[in-house]
Amino acid sequence: MSELIRRTAADLSQLLSSGEVSSVEVTQAHLDRIAEVDGGVHAFLHVAGEKALADAAAVDAARAAGEELGPLAGVPIAVKDVMTTQGLPTTAGSKMLEGWIPPYDATVVRKLREARLVTLGKTNMDEFAMGSSTEHSAYGPTRNPWALDRIPGGSGGGSSAALAAFEAPLATGTDTGGSIRQPASVTGTVGVKPTYGAVSRYGLIALASSLDQAGPCARTVLDTALLHEVMAGHDPLDSTSLSGGYPDVVAAARAGATQGIAGMKIGVIRELHGGDGGYQAGVMARFDESLALLTKAGAEIVEVSCPSFTAALAAYYLILPSEASSNLAKFDAMRYGLRVGPAGVEAPSAEQVMAATRAAGFGDEVKRRIILGTYALSSGYYDAYYGSAQKVRTLIQRDFAAAFEQADVLVSPTSPTTAFKLGAKLDDPLSMYLQDVATIPANLAGVPGMSLPSGLADEDGLPAGIQLLAPAQADDRLYRVGAALEALLHEGWGGSILDKAQVLDAKTLEAVR
């Protein structure tokens, strides 16, 4: 195993710019690792080996020619399969789009290409980003590199597993209710949902447009910041793209790691502090230790109350299906993707073809949410369900505003539990939805959030995560506090938490193939 795969993106950036290694070497090392372990982990749906090596060689040539390159030029990245990639298959984890090769790049993907990152391939995900375990992918689940019989979180489980298995140093994700932060939490990696509108949604296959947000995934806070900087920025192709207010997240990450966070106020959210049960004891123990470390870093801990957060999950599971039922109406067998003729009908109408195609192309969770959304938006129920949920959204925004008057950053455990076993919650959608209870409020209000590893739970030795939340357009606070906490945690662990993960050898991998 090449040692290059264990390097952070920041390290690789230095090695590449000093000429100690080439992008081709780094890319090949990761492709070798994917070939070695991905049969067991299944983080990738598509690996673009030849294209990646060609792109890497082009970066090496540009560097040799003295061209000025950005800090991440030549560093490999894995891209969540919900982002359109010109010339590379894009399925959003669904049979509906099997074999589709988009004719254009999402803005995020274009930015990665312009910054000369090397795309290794597309990562597995819950179908159309609906799920918290990556078991709802039409192409089979991804496995958690910490324990291959466990889920890697969702919907971005493929991206997080690729990072934790050292198949890629960086990855992209999208977070509609926690799909970046929860997978980061259960795989011992770092994930950030930026402020709503900070990263363009153009070319992302939409789930719920008022909640979806693309963001960076990596193994350290600094790497996440470096990728965040590449992804963020105004995009005229997205009418909800922010036109300004992009803080310097890389400078904030560096400052946090070196200067601490003296004088900052950290608010513990009472309603997300395990009071109503459901939080695993080991997750809470690591969370409380992190609070002690934040105090050590110079912060003051205060308790804040956000009473409406207890209704956030309910509001989310009305708003999301409503928007999803509308967004997914375009998968109608007419212009792209799957087209299935109904059985036993000689000359079917368009409507019959649509119904048969959507029956064959969508999985159970997608159908469930489309029906739920259709119900919540239907005449007679609209005010009671969708309308009420939108009022809860107002209350949650007010709670955040009040809390941020008392604290600079808010904290909670990211996910109530560590990774559960594959299949454990598949027949119980409600129990699966509870995984996102702490992450959802940020999406409803549009504020940024980060998850970073807080340690291993005593019960099962699996990673737990701590979530940081900041006011809209103050993403830099997440990086400042996250980097300060990470530095102290790494000091205690003697390195990265991923050094404590199981070794993926032939025996462990063979057992699941």
Partner 1 sequence: MPAISRDEVAHLAGLARIEMSPDELDRMAGQLDVILGAVAQVREVAGDDVPATSHPMPLVNVTRPDVPRAGLSAEQALAGAPAQQEQRFRVPRILEED
Residues 364-403 that bind partner 1 (CB under 8 A): 367-368, 370-372, 374-375, 378, 384-385, 387-395, 397
Exposure string of 203-218, with b = 16+ CB inside 10 Å and e = fewer, is: bbbbbbebbbbbbbbb
How many Å apart are CA 149 and CA 151, to the nearest integer? 7
Of the pair 61, 334, the CB lying nearest partner 1 is at 334
Two structure tokens written together for 95: 């049979």
35 touches partner 1 by CB under 8 A: no
Told to check if 240 binds partner 1 by CB under 8 A, we report yes
Q: Which of 13, 22, 23, 80 is catalytic?
A: 80
* Residues in contact with partner 1, shown as a per-residue x/- string from 41 to 80 under the rule CB under 8 A: ----------------------------------------
Kindly state the smallest distance separating residue 286's Cβ from partner 1, in Å.
Answer: 28
Angle of helix 475-493 relative to helix 221-231, nearest 10 degrees, comes to: 150
Q: Using CB under 8 A, which of the segments 33-41, 167-175, 184-192, 308-316 binds partner 1?
A: 308-316
Catalytic residue among 155, 185, 200, 308: 155
Mapping DSSP to helix (H, G, I), strand (E, B) and coil, where does residue 301 land?
A: strand
Determine the Cα–Cα distance for residues 120 and 50; give it in Å rounded to an integer: 9
Determine the Cα angle at 374 with ends 369 and 378, to 5°.
Answer: 150
Q: Counting contacts by CB under 8 A, is residue 202 touching partner 1?
A: no
Q: Is 317 in the site for partner 1 (CB under 8 A)?
A: yes
Of 133-192, which residues contact partner 1 (CB under 8 A)?
Answer: none
Structure tokens at 146: 């910490």
CB of 328 to partner 1, least distance (A): 9
From the list 3, 20, 66, 335, which residue makes contact with partner 1 (rule: CB under 8 A)? 335
Which entry of 13, 132, 159, 179 is annotated as an active-site residue?
Answer: 179
**Which of 113, 339, 490, 500 is close enough to bind partner 1 by CB under 8 A?**
339
Rounded-to-10 torsion of CA 464, 467, 468, 474:
130
Tell me, yes or no, if 80 is annotated catalytic.
yes
CB nearer to partner 1: pick between 197 and 453: 197
> How many of the chain's residues bind partner 1 (CB under 8 A)?
72
In DSSP notation, 400-466 reads: HHHHHHH-SEEEEESSSSSPPBTTTTTT-HHHHHGGGTTTHHHHHHT--EEEEEEEE-TTT--EEEE
With CB under 8 A as the contact rule, which of the stretches 16-24, 107-115, 334-342, 498-506 interacts with partner 1?
A: 334-342
Neighbours of 322 (CB within 10 A): 24
Q: Of 1, 62, 311, 424, which lies in the binding site for partner 1, with binding defined by CB under 8 A?
A: 311
In residues, how long is the chain? 513
Instruction: Report the residue number, 291 or 313, with the smaller CB distance to partner 1.
Output: 313
Residues 443-472 touching partner 1, rule: CB under 8 A, are 443-446, 472
Given the complex with partner 1, which of 318 and 409 has the nearer CB atom? 318
Applying CB under 8 A, which part among 19-27, 233-241, 268-276, 403-411 lies near partner 1?
Answer: 233-241
- Looking only at residues 241 through 270 of this chain, which bind partner 1 when binding is defined by CB under 8 A? 242
| Closest CA relative to residue 12, chosen from 77, 79, 75 | 75
Cis peptide before 349 (omega within 30 of 0): no
Is the CB of residue 268 less than 8 Å from the CB of residue 153? Answer: no
96, 338 contact by CB (below 8 A): yes
Residue 273 Cβ, how far from partner 1 at the closest point, in Å? 20
Nearest residue (CB) to partner 1, 100 versus 493:
100
165, 204, 167, 160: which is closest to 186 by C-alpha?
Answer: 160
Q: Which of 150, 193, 228, 358 binds partner 1 (CB under 8 A)?
A: 358
Helix (H) or strand (E) holding 283: helix 281-296
Is residue 208 within the footprint of partner 1 (CB under 8 A)? no
Which position among 20, 50, 239, 244 is part of the footprint of partner 1 (CB under 8 A)?
239
Nearer to partner 1, 40 or 194 (CB): 194
Residue 276 interacting with partner 1 (CB under 8 A): no
Q: Say whether residue 429 binds partner 1 (CB under 8 A).
A: yes
Clarify whether 308 is annotated catalytic: no
State how beta strands 214-218 and 170-174 pair.
Answer: antiparallel
Q: Output the smallest distance, CB 320 to partner 1, in A.
A: 11
Contacts of 365 (CB under 8 A, 6+ apart): 126, 127, 130, 131, 136, 429
- Is the Cα dihedral 203, 205, 206, 211 positive or negative? negative
Catalytic residues: 80, 155, 179
